[in-house]
Amino acid sequence: MSNTIISVKNLVKKYGDFEAVKSISFDVHEGEIFGLLGPNGAGKSTTLEIIETLRTKTSGTITVAGFDLDTQANEIKKIIGVQLQSSGFYPGLNLIELINLFSGLYNEDVNAMELLDKVNLRDKAKAKVKELSGGQKQRFSIATTLINNPKIIFLDEPTTGLDPQARRNLWELIQDIRKGGTTVILTTHYMDEAELLCDRVAIIDQGKIIAIETPDNLVDNLVASGFERPKEVKKANLEDVFISLTGRTIRED
């Protein structure tokens, strides 16, 4: 049996009269990569930001690593890592200086070079965020989630807008972080990404969870229901062609 690290029960979020999250319940297991999938406006960010203690909820109960969100939000903040948007970084500081600044804010003693190594950005230590490529920016923002050595990290669309090599690179990084024992919750619009990375996914639509399962079981259930693709699937797709022609090497560095 896997241990529950996040438990969400009957979570409701109203913005005025509009109910954006309609009494959803789910658990996240310790050490898993858990995906929140759903169309724009489904309530994914709202749900994540409530768990991250960044937004208030209307009702429901949430516990994170045994801490109650209502009474122990400060304890929760200490053990989670939340991805900042790159626009939130002080533009005048380089990567090392930013990490040192955040470590100071978290009251953590972090070896900035080691952390940059982990996300393959040692060469960019003296660069400013605006000088990084899209993939590098994402890797840096993931590095900042790790500063407080969190038990759980939250990644909101970590690979949106990246080229195929940079996406694969990010997937490896996320898998490495999980191998180190960190639980990962992410949102994505890429189904191939969810299938490859996530142990389980919750599909949210119009504020409700309509499925929660392993990607494999979801696909098997659909096939068992008699679903067939209209035409036979080719053994490769255009992305495979792209990667095969241009290679897996990262071009951004």
Residue 187 C-beta: closest distance to ligand ADP, Å: 7
Q: Report which of 57, 60, 55 is spatially closest to residue 82, judged by C-alpha positions.
A: 55
Site for ligand ADP in 32-61 (CB under 6 A): 38, 40-46
* Under rule CB under 6 A, residue 83 binds ligand ADP: no
Nearer to ligand ADP, 46 or 53 (CB): 46
Residue 48 C-beta: closest distance to ligand ADP, Å: 8
Residue 49 C-beta: closest distance to ligand ADP, Å: 8
* Under rule CB under 6 A, residue 82 binds ligand ADP: no
Q: Report which of 59, 62, 44 is spatially closest to residue 204, judged by C-alpha positions.
A: 44
C-alpha distances (whole Å) from 114 to each of 131, 173, 190 are: 21, 14, 30
Nearer to ligand ADP, 42 or 198 (CB): 42
Find the DSSP H helices in 128-237. Answer: 134-145, 164-179, 191-197, 215-224
Q: Alpha-carbon distance 165 to 110, whole Å?
A: 29
Residue 45 C-beta: closest distance to ligand ADP, Å: 3
Q: Alpha-carbon distance 76 to 71, whole Å?
A: 10
Nearer to ligand ADP, 20 or 153 (CB): 20
Binding site for ligand ADP (CB under 6 A): 15, 20, 38, 40-46
